[in-house]
Amino acid sequence: MTTKSEIIVATDGLTKRLGGRTVVNGVNLAIGRGDIYGFLGPNGAGKTTTIRMLLGLARPTSGHIRIFDKDIRKERLAILRKVGSLVEYPSYYGHLNATENLEAVRRLLGAPKSRIDEVLAIVRLTQEARRPVKGFSLGMKQRLGIATALLGNPELLVLDEPTNGLDPAGIQEIRELIKSLPRTSGVTILISSHLLSEVEQMATRVGIIAKGELIYQDGIERLREQAQGRIRLGVSDPEAAWQLLLSYGYPAEWDRTKLTVGQADDRTIAGIVSRLVQSDFQVYRVEEEHASLESIFLQMTGSEASL
């Protein structure tokens, strides 16, 4: 599917049955090098389960996983050496301070000592480095979790709902943080979320999973196209205006509350407006109406639009 270079993460018919239910069903992920892959799905869709399998924490019931073109079952350690991860919620040793937490992980990874200060600076925890982590706020713990994931200079960064449980400011902060991660080094990021809006601004590619099945996987632009706006016209007597516009061949729609025109360039809009004015309609408003990605997402995942 990706026309881009190298595929870093590829799964083939990935399936997991848990407690008699198929929670991940035939998922074929394809993540290219340098992608920021937004892995989206509502609660319970199977995101975490998929990610646990990618990290070798759980075994697939069937299907294959290749990361860096290596089979996870055969070369798990070689793969994990180049992967940094944060699954579900950050893990930490509460009685240790931030530096010691990172040091415990650093000793497992064999990363250089200087890297600890680097990652602390990246997540802006340098000031708090000497405090026991059990006194950290959730946002600080999340940031420490991201710092831990970055410690080994990973080529693939897997972040499972890194904004879980954060307030809007915290979410914003984490988002900025992820965006600010050095993109030059060609690091690939898989970030899961149940909110499209959260990854929309940073993802280059999106996979949507619902009820264990991957129902969409493509570049973010494709999703945006589907979400492209319509032009809404506020006029006197819209129903009559609608009939007028139709008679001139404009793609107008009237749903008894509002009059809209589908994708139209500037000249078409100008033509419509002058036609309406000439026919003595009063034009109050001409405004662009964005179908949000969220509503498309809801349509796809089949959730209630009224949420």
Ligand X SMILES: Nc1ncnc2c1ncn2[C@@H]1O[C@H](COP(=O)(O)OP(=O)(O)OP(=O)(O)O)[C@@H](O)[C@H]1O
Binding site for other proteins (CB under 8 A): 52, 55-59, 77-78, 80-81, 83, 85, 87-96, 100, 103-105, 107-109, 148, 152
When binding is defined by CB under 6 A, the residue of 14, 23, 159, 187 that contacts ligand X is 23
- Closest to ligand X by CB, 142 vs 260, is 142
The one of other proteins, ligand X, Mg ion, none whose footprint includes residue 96, by CB under 5 to 8 A per kind, is other proteins
Note whether 45 binds ligand X by CB under 6 A: yes
- Closest to ligand X by CB, 23 vs 241, is 23
Q: How far is C-alpha 251 from the geometric centre of its chain's CA atoms?
A: 33
Binding mask 16-55 for Mg ion (x = CB under 5 A): --------------------------------x-------
Note whether 208 binds ligand X by CB under 6 A: no
For residues 145, 146, 149, 151, the Cα torsion angle rounded to the nearest 10 degrees is: -100
The one of other proteins, Mg ion, ligand X, none whose footprint includes residue 23, by CB under 5 to 8 A per kind, is ligand X
The one of ligand X, other proteins, Mg ion, none whose footprint includes residue 46, by CB under 5 to 8 A per kind, is ligand X
Q: Which two tokens stand for residue 27?
A: 């998922």
Least Cβ distance, residue 256 to other proteins (angstroms): 52
Integer Cα distance of 216 and 44 in angstroms? 17
When binding is defined by CB under 6 A, the residue of 13, 44, 234, 302 that contacts ligand X is 44
The one of other proteins, ligand X, Mg ion, none whose footprint includes residue 194, by CB under 5 to 8 A per kind, is ligand X
Q: Which residue has the tokens 């016209």?
A: 233
Integer Cα distance of 303 and 161 in angstroms? 20
> Smallest Cα–Cα separation from 140: which of 128, 153, 122?
128
